[in-house]
Amino acid sequence: MIKHEHVCVREVMTETPFVVDGLATVREAIEIMAEHRVSSLVVGRRHEGDEYGLIVVSDIAEQVISVNRSPDRTNVYEVMSKPVLSLDAEMDIKYAVRLLCRFELSRAVVLDHGNLIGIVTLRDLVLRYVAATARP
């Protein structure tokens, strides 16, 4: 059995993810992504009972560019994923990896008592898990 030190999602996540409004245009989202050199943005909640969304470069490629839609006339809410998988900040990364794999996802938002505090990718989780794995 592989042993690893307990590492929680909070230790691996990227803090303060970039957030975009669902009413923004896809072009505006792309500009934010380019400016900050990221491939995804969290779509903010519209009210307390709402859920977070996520827009990823692949969403834009598949649902806008490949079908010849205008990024200036397409809103983020039309192509985003919502609701998205959220992980508790204190969850062990081993279980976070399992969840992302189970749902075939590459990233998730990180919440602490319902508040958005970060975003984490499967890549970052796997790299940290392997680093934390004890060698026999």
Whether the pLDDT of residue 136 is over 60: the answer is: no
Q: What is the pTM of this model?
A: 0.88
Domains recognised in the chain with CATH numbers: 9-132 (3.10.580.10)
pLDDT digits (tens, 9 = 90+) for 17-50: 999 999 999 999 999 999 999 999 999 999 988 9
Q: Report the share of the chain in percent with pLDDT over 90.
A: 88
Q: What is the pLDDT of residue 2?
A: 59
In the chain the first and final C-alpha atoms are separated, in Å, by: 10
Residue, of 1 and 39, whose pLDDT is higher: 39
Assess contact for 64 and 79: CB atoms under 8 A.
yes
Q: What is the pLDDT of residue 3?
A: 66
Ordered DSSP codes for the chain: ---B---BGGGTSEES--EE-TTSBHHHHHHHHHHHT-SEEEEPPSSTT---EEEEHHHHIIIIITTT--TTT-BHHHH-B-S--EEETTSBHHHHHHHHHHTT-SEEEEEETTEEEEEEEHHHHHHHHHHHBPP-
Which band of pLDDT confidence, cut at 50, 70 and 90, is reported for residue 132?
A: confident
